[in-house]
């Protein structure tokens, strides 16, 4: 059986549409905000991965969100670009339509809460009003695009008869994809499956739309709920790289895709994801946000294919299938063996960047990253993939308003730590000196003097990018200001410089966040 879709043409019944919301649901969770350049880079990597739909943001939320959706729509090819808007929020839909204007294929994604709890306490709206807004929102969205998705927020806790009415209304007024989220991660797999079976049986017009599932991981069931939804007839899954997202996160793209591929015998469903790119996209996101995945994370964790016990090692040597259900190469492990050193030239460096998923890198970023790579290669014998990711990620922050220019440190056992620092703020050079209780404290005081702010330090942690005493330090700094939380990352062979970079990165993120209105200021 096949189905005609405005963006994908004829879609066969065994095809699963991958809708990635790393840049929207993922990005809105604490510590994961990204600037314009970072979002563009991630969007290119997602398109190269073969993601069908990229949810690029919520344009009405801020000028920054609008601009990133607009630029992704204009510059990223290969995927449908989607913008979020509230059903009935006229300005939301105008902003979404405007931001998507240059997209080759654009989708507007409308949502409104439909559960009794959300309608009564959050929206303070009668069910009939919710139905009106669903109709209005979809009609308005269809003026901009034929590809309209509608979501029932808190759908899994919605009363079944009302959910059917909402979905029928959404389809009648132009939705081509119907998404049922388990917004609070409360549902069980059998319940998610039953919702889709019911909707497909009961709602008139259900055969003309694609059903979509969107699962949060509060009980660790997001991937299970997603797979069960497919058994109920959903054919679009909403997910994020590394499972990032609100609270406990969303369903992890890499886990669902590999479950479908590895258990094709069980599900008989296909995606268009180029699975050997999974690891590099996961690493790219980790380098961009500074949050590594846990070592035992399925597919992309450091231990996912490591066999420690002697019995397992022996088995794998005799026949990999004894303990490996998929090959490491199929998800990108071991695929880039070229290690860089101080004799590596521009061509080798560019090849390495491509292999690591940095497809589109502008000349200025390339030149700056290459220069830092040469400096690092002088300090370290071997430059590993994670070193390269760390330095390209920093040089790629081209929209940063605050930049570190130089840092000189005096300290040791006989002197109080003293830092001389130069940084630019919106291009203007500021030079300061500061002393502190240790070098990091002195560096942070100097930054505070050069760029006064109210934010307080909520977390400071230092790790290493790779192994060995010559490894680069990787620092995370979390700043807090008026309910806003941001994490900045820095890396450098010098731990104090890495800490200063992380602090400055966090300040830049804070500047972006200050522009965003809090969700409660947005009224339907
Ligand atoms: O979790 C949720 O309900 C959402 C919707 C906006 C789709 O993210
Ligand atoms: Zn969500």
Q: How far apart are CA 398 and CA 361, in angstroms?
A: 11
pTM above 0.85, yes or no: no
Position in ligand 1 atom list of the atom nearest CA 250: 1
Q: Do 260 and 340 belong to one domain?
A: no
Q: Do 388 and 419 belong to one domain?
A: no
- Ligand 1 mutation target, pool 26, 112, 151, most atoms within 8 A of CB: 151
The answer to whether residue 110 is domain-embedded is yes
Q: How far apart are CA 7 and CA 176, in angstroms?
A: 10
Ligand 1 midpoint to CA 35 (Å): 22
Residue with CA closest to ligand 1 atom 8: 25
Q: Do 371 and 282 belong to one domain?
A: no
Q: Do 479 and 425 belong to one domain?
A: yes
Q: Do 375 and 406 belong to one domain?
A: no
Ligand nearest to the CA of 112: 1
Question: Quick check: CB of 349 below 6 Å from ligand 1?
Answer: no
Q: Do 73 and 88 belong to one domain?
A: yes
Ligand 2 midpoint to CA 328 (Å): 30
Position in ligand 1 atom list of the atom nearest CA 151: 7
Ligand 1 midpoint to CA 153 (Å): 6
Question: Quick check: CB of 111 below 6 Å from ligand 1?
Answer: yes
Domain ranges, residue 241? 2-6+14-289
How many separate domains does the chain show? 3
Q: Do 354 and 471 belong to one domain?
A: no
Q: Do 378 and 407 belong to one domain?
A: no
Q: Do 438 and 377 belong to one domain?
A: no
Q: What angle do CA 118, 123, 126 make, to 5 degrees?
A: 90
Q: Do 258 and 354 belong to one domain?
A: no
Residue with CA closest to ligand 1 atom 1: 183
Cβ contacts of 279 within 8 Å, gap of 6 or more: 299, 300, 331, 332, 333, 335
Q: Do 364 and 406 belong to one domain?
A: no
- Which has the closest alpha carbon to 174: 109, 229, 130, 233? 109
Q: Where is the binding site for Mn(2+), in residues?
A: 25, 214, 216, 250
Q: Where are the beta strands (DSSP E) in 160-228?
A: 177-182, 210-215
Ligand 2 midpoint to CA 250 (Å): 7
**Pick from 362, 395, 428: which residue ends a domain?**
395
Q: Tens digit of pLDDT per residue, the chain (524 long)?
A: 777 899 999 999 999 999 999 999 999 887 788 888 889 989 999 999 999 999 999 999 999 999 999 999 999 999 999 999 999 899 999 999 999 999 999 999 999 999 999 999 999 999 999 999 999 999 999 999 999 999 999 999 999 999 999 999 999 999 999 999 999 999 999 999 999 999 999 999 999 999 999 999 999 999 999 999 999 999 999 999 999 999 999 999 999 999 999 999 999 999 999 999 999 899 989 888 878 898 899 999 988 987 766 777 778 788 888 888 999 999 998 754 556 888 888 888 888 888 777 767 788 888 888 988 888 888 777 788 778 887 787 776 656 899 999 999 998 888 889 999 999 999 999 999 999 999 999 999 999 999 999 999 998 989 887 777 888 888 989 899 988 888 888 889 899 999 999 999 999 888 877 776 655 555 44
């Amino acid at each position: 059986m096949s189905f005609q879709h405005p963006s994908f043409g004829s879609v066969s019944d065994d095809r699963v549409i991958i809708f990635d919301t790393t840049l929207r649901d993922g990005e809105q969770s604490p510590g994961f905000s990204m600037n314009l350049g970072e979002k563009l880079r991630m969007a290119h990597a997602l398109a190269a991965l073969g993601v069908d739909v990229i949810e690029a943001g919520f344009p009405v939320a801020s000028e920054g969100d609008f601009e990133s959706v607009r630029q992704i729509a204009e510059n990223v090819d290969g995927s449908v670009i989607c913008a979020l808007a509230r059903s009935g929020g006229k300005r939301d839909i105008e902003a979404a339509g405007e931001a998507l204007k240059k997209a080759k294929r654009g989708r507007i994604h409308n949502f409104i809460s439909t559960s009794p709890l959300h309608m009564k306490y959050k929206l303070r709206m009668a069910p009939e009003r919710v139905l009106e807004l669903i109709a209005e929102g979809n009609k308005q969205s269809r003026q901009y695009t034929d590809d309209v998705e509608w979501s029932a927020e808190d759908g899994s806790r919605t009363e079944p008869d009302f959910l059917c009415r909402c979905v029928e209304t959404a389809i009648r007024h132009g939705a081509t994809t119907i998404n049922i989220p388990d917004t609070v991660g409360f549902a069980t797999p059998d319940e998610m499956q039953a919702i889709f079976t019911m909707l497909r049986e009961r709602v008139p017009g259900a055969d003309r739309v694609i059903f979509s599932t969107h699962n949060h991981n509060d009980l660790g069931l997001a991937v299970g709920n997603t797979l069960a939804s497919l058994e109920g007839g959903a054919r679009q899954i909403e997910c994020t790289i590394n499972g990032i997202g609100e609270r406990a996160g969303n369903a992890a793209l890499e886990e669902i895709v590999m479950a479908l591929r590895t258990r094709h015998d069980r599900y008989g469903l296909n995606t268009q994801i180029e699975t050997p790119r999974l690891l590099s996209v996961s690493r790219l996101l980790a380098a961009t946000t500074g949050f590594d995945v846990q070592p035992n994370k399925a597919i992309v964790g450091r231990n996912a294919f490591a066999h420690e016990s002697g019995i397992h090692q022996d088995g794998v040597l005799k026949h990999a299938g004894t303990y490996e259900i998929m090959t490491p190469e199929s998800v990108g492990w071991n695929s880039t063996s070229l290690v860089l050193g101080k004799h590596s030239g521009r061509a080798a460096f560019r090849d390495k960047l491509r292999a690591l998923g940095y497809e589109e890198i502008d000349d200025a970023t390339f030149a700056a990253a290459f220069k830092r790579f040469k400096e690092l290669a002088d300090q370290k014998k071997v430059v590993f993939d994670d070193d390269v990711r760390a330095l390209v990620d920093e040089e790629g922050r081209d929209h940063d308003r605050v930049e570190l220019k130089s840092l000189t440190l005096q300290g040791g056992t006989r002197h109080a730590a003293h830092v001389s620092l130069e940084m630019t703020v919106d291009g203007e050079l500021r030079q300061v000196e500061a002393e502190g209780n240790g070098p990091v404290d002195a560096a942070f005081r100097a930054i505070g003097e050069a760029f006064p702010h109210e934010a307080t330090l909520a977390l400071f942690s230092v790790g290493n990018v790779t192994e060995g005493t010559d490894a680069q330090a990787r620092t995370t700094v979390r700043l807090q200001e008026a309910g806003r939380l941001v994490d900045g990352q820095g890396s450098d062979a010098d731990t104090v410089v890495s800490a200063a970079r992380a602090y400055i990165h966090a300040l830049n993120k804070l500047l972006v966040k200050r522009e965003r209105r809090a969700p409660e200021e947005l009224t339907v």
